[in-house]
Structure 1
Amino acid sequence: MLGFPSNDFGKQEPGSSKEIADFCFNTYGVKFPMFSKAVVSGPNANALYATLAKSTGKTPQWNFHKYLIDRSGKVITSFPSEVAPGNPALVTAIEKALNQSI
């Protein structure tokens, strides 16, 4: 699990990358790595998100878009913001990816 904050959606992340990481830790107990704030959609998307969008045909439409990548680095699929972390389809996809050998 990796976090990539962005101010792309409703300007909801105006703070610095450190402020965002601190907020996520203090408010939600986030313990996974948080990267620097970046553009994740549109023509100015950073290289990672441009590659993820190209691989899946899906771009983030709002915060908390999820991309699933296997152990070898292959992009498997994506899940939109509406899919909660505990959603059975997401959990099943993660478990399946974790059970595959490299």
Structure 2
Amino acid sequence: MSLLDTPIARLDGTPATLGEITGGRPALLVNVASKCGLTPQYSALEQLQETYGDRLTVVGLPCNQFGGQEPGSSEEIAEFCSATYGVSFPLTEKVEVNGEGRHAVYEQLVGQAYADDGGFKKSTEPGDVQWNFEKFVVAADGSVVARFGPATTPDDPAVVAALEGVLG
């Protein structure tokens, strides 16, 4: 199954596939959390969506696996993201990114080595997601082309270059 064919519900529970959520465009997939020290990255993610939104989709995938930093309901997550950061990009249902309950989207993503982990893990090897706000650049055909660690900000030149590379 292609990454884009993977079923994943929208934050409101509406069934979808990842491809439907991305609108068939290249995407930046990010596991997000509302109560993390890295949560201010929402601002840069929203800026990327505003800058590239006609050719790229930023997708937030809420996750509560790291320090219980995304404990809210879907409604609470939506309200926080909208009111605090003006988030306009799509959010999915809350997912697990590691372990036995790892969502099928992440089963495919974690095989990608890191382009840069921002010094968070000091490794570039594929494997489990390290923390909230790990970023995956996905081409329009569903291929994973780059992975960036939590401390690498969405507006980092390497992330922007990877995104522009899939935009052609």
TM-score, structure 1 length as denominator? 0.90
Check whether the contact 1:8–1:39 (CA below 8 A) recurs between aligned residues: yes
Residue 95 of structure 2 corresponds to 38
Q: Are 1:63 and 2:132 matched, yes or no?
A: yes
Residue 14 of structure 1 corresponds to 71
1:80-95 aligned within 5 A: 80-95=149-164
Check whether the contact 1:5–1:38 (CA below 8 A) recurs between aligned residues: yes
Identity of aligned residues (%): 43
Post-superposition shift, 1:55?
A: 4.1
Please give the per-residue CA displacement for 1:2-57, whole angstroms capped at 9, x wherever unaligned: 01001001001111122112211111111100111111112321111111112442
1-side partners of 2:74 and 2:99: how far apart? 20
Q: Are 1:48 and 2:105 matched, yes or no?
A: yes
Structure 2 letter corresponding to 1:96: G
Residues 31 and 24 of structure 1: CA distance in aligned 2, closer, same or farther (over 3 Å):
same
Please give the per-residue CA displacement for 1:51-86, whole angstroms capped at 9, x wherever unaligned: 111244243211111111001111112111101111
2-side partners of 1:50 and 1:66: how far apart? 15
Residue 96 of structure 1 corresponds to 165
Q: List structure 1 runs of 4+ shifted beyond 3 angstroms.
A: none
For structure 2, the residue ranges without an aligned partner over 5 or more in a row are 1-57, 114-125
SS in 1 for 2:146: strand
The structure richer in helix per residue is 1
For structure 1, the residue ranges without an aligned partner over 5 or more in a row are none
2-side partners of 1:74 and 1:17: how far apart? 28
2-side partners of 1:54 and 1:96: how far apart? 20
1-side partners of 2:105 and 2:147: how far apart? 14
Check whether the contact 1:17–1:35 (CA below 8 A) recurs between aligned residues: no
Q: Which has the higher contact order (CA 8 A, sep 6+)?
A: 2
Structure 2 letter corresponding to 1:45: R
